[in-house]
């Protein structure tokens, strides 16, 4: 056992080497300060938040859907093709810009309705505790929660956001019940 130094400028390469060494039980001392924000788990949460913004572009929502295992990949592809053909660039306008809902293919209509319903849960004004519960629910519905729970970085993201079951009591502070709006 010898110490080995690795100088990496490429974050993706650094993440891969870190994951490979970690999976082999190698003790790692990261002098650069491994950033949680560079992980796939954090990217999943950021993707969901971008998709649930008040006026996201269709590309942001489609990107999130492609990375959320619970959504049918074929329906996502049909929806993407439909949105591109119709020239619909803003997700909230999907139904508003459609001349006739009857002309919308069933898989597209069903997916849009499901996504809009899920987005609505995060759009409501609520306290931080309730909003974090809604975030966790959205991750569960999207199939991302299960993936995150099985991943070390995902567990760290859950801990930082206090989504971890053991940290839920810390969120019960009255200061965290302050109303907030996701904008």
Q: What is the DSSP string of 147-165?
A: HHHTSHHHHHHHHHTT-SG
The Cα–Cα gap between 100 and 96 comes to 9
pLDDT band at 153 (very low <50, low <70, confident <90, very high): confident
Could you tell me which residue, 22 or 110, shows the higher pLDDT? 110
Region 106-111: mean pLDDT is 89
Residue 30 has pLDDT above 90, yes or no: no
pLDDT band at 156 (very low <50, low <70, confident <90, very high): confident
Whole-model pTM over 0.75: no
pLDDT band at 143 (very low <50, low <70, confident <90, very high): very high
CA distances from 76 to 42, 59, 64, 71, 73 (A): 22, 12, 10, 7, 5
Q: Which residue has the tokens 């130094």?
A: 5
β partners of residue 126: 180
In residues, how long is the chain?
A: 183
Predicted pLDDT at 79: 94
Q: Which of 37-51, 91-105, 119-133 has the lowest mean pLDDT?
A: 91-105
Contact residues for 52 (Cβ-Cβ < 8 A; gap 6+) = 118, 119, 122, 123, 138, 182
DSSP-derived secondary structure for 60-115: HHHHHHHT-TTS-HHHHHHHHHHHHHHT--BGGGTTTT-S-GGGS-HHHHHHHHHH
Q: Which two tokens stand for residue 144?
A: 């991302």
pLDDT band at 42 (very low <50, low <70, confident <90, very high): confident
Phi, psi of 139 (to 5 degrees): -65, -40
Predicted pLDDT at 50: 92
Predicted pLDDT at 15: 74
The Cα–Cα gap between 28 and 59 comes to 37
């Amino acid at each position: 056992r010898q110490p080995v130094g690795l100088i990496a400028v490429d974050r993706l390469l650094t993440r891969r080497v870190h994951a490979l060494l970690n999976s082999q039980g190698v003790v790692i001392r990261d002098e650069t300060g491994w950033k949680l924000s560079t992980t796939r788990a954090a990217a999943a949460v950021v993707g969901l938040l971008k998709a649930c913004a008040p006026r996201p572009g269709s590309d942001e929502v489609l990107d999130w859907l492609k990375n959320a295992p619970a959504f049918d990949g074929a329906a996502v592809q049909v929806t993407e093709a439909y949105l591109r053909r119709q020239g619909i660039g803003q997700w909230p306008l999907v139904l508003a810009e459609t001349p006739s809902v009857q002309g919308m293919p069933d898989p597209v209509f069903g997916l849009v309705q499901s996504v809009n319903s899920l987005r609505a849960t995060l759009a409501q004004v609520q306290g931080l505790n309730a909003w974090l519960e809604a975030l966790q629910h959205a991750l569960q519905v999207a199939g991302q929660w299960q993936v995150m729970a099985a991943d070390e970085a995902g567990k760290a993201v859950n801990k930082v956001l206090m989504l971890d079951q053991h940290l839920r009591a810390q969120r019960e502070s009255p200061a965290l019940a302050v109303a907030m709006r996701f904008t």
